[in-house]
């Protein structure tokens, strides 16, 4: 049991999150006291069980009082991290950073005057990020700033559209053939829900049309479309056709997730292709049948290769997802999966770190983390760079194994603009479907969200009422509605 006492109730949850990166639920009892004292300088006392640490930060180093306030959380986490790191005798790859978007922090640093070439060293010294992670963050920032600005300024074909007029369209299909052990997404196993597919598709098509009409009425343009879930290809070809053609927009990046290889067949690929989709994501997660079975995915590695070969004939840009840190996999197992995928040379490879999110089967069963996860992720960085891939987006989640990250890699010229603009929150997201979350970015820089009901029956029942709320929300009536 962990007991955490602090006089900084206002930032308790942020400090606690950092502690959680060091201390797990199953470890022996720990008592941590964190005391903040503000005199001329800042003094932090941290006591972990019987050991105490004291750090002093000169406020003069942070400019005037207003300036200092901006650094308050940073200083407190910095001091807490130093104490925990010393007590436990280990460093975390992301140092004192607990946020999910280190690249956004890096981008802010550049905006506040840190030269691009100093971003990595700044992350390493100010946030105690490991040199490798700091380096890759800076590299991603460079790739994004080289490619994404051009794409944003010349969006929608050859027509130049101001960034503030662009939006991303997201469509959610909350069904999967079975539920993976690590899944906490809004997704239902298909067997008990099959009767809902057709009414869901009909409502979704209505919502897509409604949303696209609003986009047009507002004088906005669709920058990219992403059909995700869930597993969109769990739908049969006619339903898929209805949804994909309703969402279609010419000259934009248009992705359809086809995560489970066992849901892909020739008829569906033809539909996906004929509806204008130009990017597809096929995600085996591992190429070991025993692991696939153990994590609740009822397909084989052979089915992945077959689905991939069929999709390749259509000329889609292809993404393949893998997970590092799956239960009982060895570094050699992971290397095998990554190397076989790399041989296929998909335009995008995304390496996720296993995350034991609340609500997943993994978290419920309190399964032990794979101790080789960091080794696997390090290997993926070396191997993908060696094979001509560039890292282009990165994000972190809570409860990630070894406090690591997910990284998207691309072949030159194949950066997925949807992934970057969504992850970096560069464009609003107009989202359709049960559990889908729309996001607006008003001029003051806040992010405001509108969530559709997760429950499919509720989504269907409340449809008309929700559409009215959606219209109000998009007309800048920014209230958080869940």
Q: Give contact residues for ligand SF4 (rule: CB under 6 A).
A: 176, 179-180, 183, 185, 187, 229-231, 259-260
Q: Minimum distance from CB of 209 to ligand SF4 (Å)?
A: 25
For ligand SF4, the closer CB: 183 or 427: 183
For ligand SF4, the closer CB: 260 or 288: 260
For ligand SF4, the closer CB: 105 or 243: 243
Q: Minimum distance from CB of 40 to ligand SF4 (Å)?
A: 52
First and final C-alpha spacing in the chain: 33
Inter-residue contact 433 to 241 (CB < 8 Å): no
Q: How far apart are CA 238 and CA 173, in angstroms?
A: 15
β-pair partners for 2: 30
3-state secondary structure 209-259: HHHHHHHHHCCCEEEEEEEEECCHHHCCHHHHHHHHHHHCCCCCEEEEECC
What DSSP string runs through 412-464?
Answer: TT---HHHHHHHTT-S-EEEESTT-EEEE--TTS--EEEE--SSHHHHHHTHH
β-pair partners for 279: 255, 317
Closest residue to ligand SF4 using C-beta atoms? 183
Q: How far apart are CA 318 and CA 347, in angstroms?
A: 6
For ligand SF4, the closer CB: 179 or 411: 179
CB atoms within 10 A of CB 332: 9
Q: Minimum distance from CB of 280 to ligand SF4 (Å)?
A: 15
Half-sphere exposure of residue 481: CA atoms within 13 angstroms, side-chain side: 19
For ligand SF4, the closer CB: 143 or 291: 291
Q: Minimum distance from CB of 111 to ligand SF4 (Å)?
A: 35
For ligand SF4, the closer CB: 79 or 230: 230
For ligand SF4, the closer CB: 168 or 184: 184
Q: Minimum distance from CB of 296 to ligand SF4 (Å)?
A: 7
Nearest to 94 by CA among 81, 84, 104, 83: 81
DSSP class of 368: P
Q: Minimum distance from CB of 418 to ligand SF4 (Å)?
A: 17
Q: Minimum distance from CB of 175 to ligand SF4 (Å)?
A: 8
């Amino acid at each position: 049991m962990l007991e955490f006492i602090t006089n900084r109730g206002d930032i308790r949850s942020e400090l606690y999150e950092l502690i959680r990166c060091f201390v797990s639920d199953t470890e022996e009892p720990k008592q941590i006291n964190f005391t903040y004292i503000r005199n001329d300088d800042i003094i932090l006392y941290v006591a972990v069980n019987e050991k105490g640490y004291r750090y002093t930060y000169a406020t003069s180093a942070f400019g005037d009082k207003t300036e200092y306030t901006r650094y308050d959380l940073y200083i407190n986490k910095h001091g807490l991290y130093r104490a925990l790191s010393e007590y436990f005798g280990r460093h975390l790859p992301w140092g004192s950073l607990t946020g999910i978007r280190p690249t956004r922090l890096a981008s802010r640093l550049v905006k506040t005057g840190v030269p691009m070439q100093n971003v990595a060293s700044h992350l390493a010294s100010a946030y105690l990020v490991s040199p490798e992670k700091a380096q890759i963050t800076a590299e991603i920032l460079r790739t994004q700033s080289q490619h994404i600005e051009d794409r944003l300024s010349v969006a929608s074909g050859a027509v130049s559209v101001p960034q503030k007029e662009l939006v991303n369209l997201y469509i959610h299909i909350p069904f999967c053939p079975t539920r993976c052990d690590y899944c906490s997404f809004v997704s239902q196993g298909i067997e008990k829900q099959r009767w809902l597919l057709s009414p869901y598709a009909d409502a979704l098509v209505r919502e897509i049309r409604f949303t696209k009409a609003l986009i047009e009425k507002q004088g906005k343009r669709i920058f990219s479309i992403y059909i995700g879930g869930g597993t969109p290809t769990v739908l049969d070809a006619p339903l898929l056709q209805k949804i994909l053609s309703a969402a279609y927009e010419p000259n934009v990046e248009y992705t359809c997730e086809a995560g489970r290889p066992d849901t892909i067949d020739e008829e569906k690929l033809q539909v996906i292709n004929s509806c204008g989709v130009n990017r597809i994501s096929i995600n085996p997660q591992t190429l070991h049948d025993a692991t696939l079975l153990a994590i609740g995915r009822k397909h084989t590695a052979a089915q992945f290769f077959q689905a991939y070969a069929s999709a390749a004939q259509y000329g889609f840009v292809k993404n393949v997802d893998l997970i590092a840190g799956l239960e009982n996999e060895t570094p050699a197992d992971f290397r095998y999966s990554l190397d076989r995928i790399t041989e296929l040379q998909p335009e995008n490879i995304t390496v996720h770190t296993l995350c034991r999110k609340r609500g997943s089967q993994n978290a419920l069963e309190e399964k032990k983390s794979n101790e080789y996860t960091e080794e696997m992720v390090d290997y993926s960085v070396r191997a993908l760079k060696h094979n001509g891939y560039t890292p282009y987006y990165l994000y972190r989640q809570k409860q990630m194994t070894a406090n690591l990250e997910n990284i998207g890699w691309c072949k030159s010229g194949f950066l997925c603009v949807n992934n970057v603009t969504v992850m970096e929150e560069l464009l609003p997201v107009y989202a359709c479907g049960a559990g889908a979350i729309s996001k607006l970015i008003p001029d003051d820089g806040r992010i405001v969200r509108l969530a559709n009901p997760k429950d499919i029956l509720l989504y269907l029942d409340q449809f008309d009422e929700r559409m009215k709320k959606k219209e109000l929300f998009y007309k800048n009536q920014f209230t958080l509605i869940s």
